[in-house]
Amino acid sequence: MIDCEQWNDATAPVVMECWDPSKIPILTTLAQHFTLFDEWYASVPGPTYGNRMYFHAGTSDGTCHNVLPDGGFKIDTLYQQLDEAGYDWGFYYDQTLDASFFNYTRHPKFAPRLRKLKVFGEDARAGTLPAVSFIMPHFYSTEKVMADDQHPNHAVSLGEALIKNIYEELRNSRSWNASAFLLTYDEHGGFYDHQPTPMKGIPNPDGKNCEATPGVPFDFQRLGLRVPTVLISPWVDHSVAHSPQGFKPQPSSKFEHTSFIATLTRQLGLKGQMTKRTEWAAPFDYLFTRTTPRTDCPTHLPPVHQGLLEQYKLARRNAPEHLLPLDDLHISYIQATNSMFGLPNNANLDQLKTEQDGAVYVESLMDAWHARARTRSH
């Protein structure tokens, strides 16, 4: 792990490297037991907001930066379609969450669907998980809880611990035989890939462009780099999905984040594809080929790589993670949480300096949002 400020000619080749499988035993074990996508691409060659919005809405509404418009994004999302079709949905989180992006999902009536992460296991054991659930990691470190989102400069091993916990809670619950856990990453993080990025035949979802840099328009007619993605379910066999099979909407169709919406549309009978990108994306429902659920899926995953975790903690001894300065992603989620609560996007930003500051702020604001939502419901 190298801090951003330490990049130089000597350390630059690190971006060409990848993790040894033995150092990421959780992801490795899941890939060895379930379906690994060898060609799942980020929807855009850009940062968090754009790619996560494709997962939720099939478009980034012309956004290619971590920037939120005043009042949130006022566009249709997967969650409108689920509601219209009579399916429940939910977000599990502790600090901040993607529901803060959208004018629809931030409505106070949906407060019961925005639940603390610790409740996920309880809901799984009770068999009361929503039809579609979205799980959020910790983006901010505190003195008590270190971030597990696997963004630099956070420990990859802690993200592995989160994945292990979610899998084991689901696997050992009554919900397992009715579940599919899609594990993916919003973007590639800028790392090298020898696989060329698809740049032909990819449709702009809604005709909107973005000014990626001043004077340089981006038309969303290409994908980002490949990202690790595993489909985990008792209804899929161990396999590698090299390229889309089964139903393929267009010859150029690929697996990317909107494949999630494309698949749900087919499986749940939603009213129709939401954008030109969701119409184009390859669904993956053909992978559910079994007629009976597997009984050989591991009930527990191996422990995280302790040596790597200890190495990380040692490196952080003189620069505690919770005292690191806020980065662009932290600030963007603070802005989204402000907006969800009805404050100006940049409210109180000048008072927040560290990850600890950011965590305390967004957690307290979300607690206040829930309290206000409960008051309005009575």
Task: Give pLDDT tens digits for 71-106.
Answer: 999 999 999 999 999 999 999 999 999 999 999 999
36 backbone dihedrals φ, ψ, rounded to 5°: -95, 125
Which token pair is 364?
């307290």
Rg of the chain over CA atoms, in angstroms? 20
Amino acid letter, residue 172: N
Please report which helix (H) or strand (E) contains residue 356, including its range: helix 355-377
Give me the pLDDT at residue 215, please. 84
Given pLDDT bands bounded at 50, 70 and 90, which one contains residue 1? very low
Look up tokens 């066999």; give the residue: 237
Tokens of 372: 């206000």
Residue 256 has pLDDT above 60, yes or no: yes
pLDDT digits (tens, 9 = 90+) for 347-366: 999 999 999 999 999 999 99
Residue 377 has pLDDT above 70, yes or no: no
pLDDT at 111 over 90: yes
Average confidence (pLDDT) over 10-28: 83
In order of 45, 319, 346, 356, the CA distances from 339 in angstroms are: 26, 31, 9, 20
Query: What is the number of alpha carbons within 13 Å of residue 220 lying toward its C-beta?
Result: 24
CB atoms within 10 A of CB 118: 9
Which pLDDT band, with edges at 50, 70 and 90, does 271 fall under? confident
Q: Find the distance separating the first CA and the last CA of the chain, reported in whole Å.
A: 50
Average pLDDT, the chain: 93
The full set of domains in the chain, from first to last, is 14-377 (3.40.720)
Give the Cα-Cα-Cα angle 82, 40, 206 (nearest 5 degrees): 55
- pTM here is 0.94
Relative orientation angle of helices 156-171 and 119-126, to the nearest 10 degrees: 20
Q: Are 124 and 175 in contact (CB under 8 A)?
A: yes
Phi, psi of 210 (to 5 degrees): -135, 145
Q: In the predicted model, is pLDDT for residue 38 greater than 90?
A: yes
Please name which of 352, 88, 64, 103 lies closest in space to residue 205, comparing C-alpha atoms: 64
Q: What is the mean pLDDT of residues 247-274?
A: 93
Q: How many CB atoms lie within 10 A of CB 245?
A: 11
Element (H, E) at 370: helix 355-377
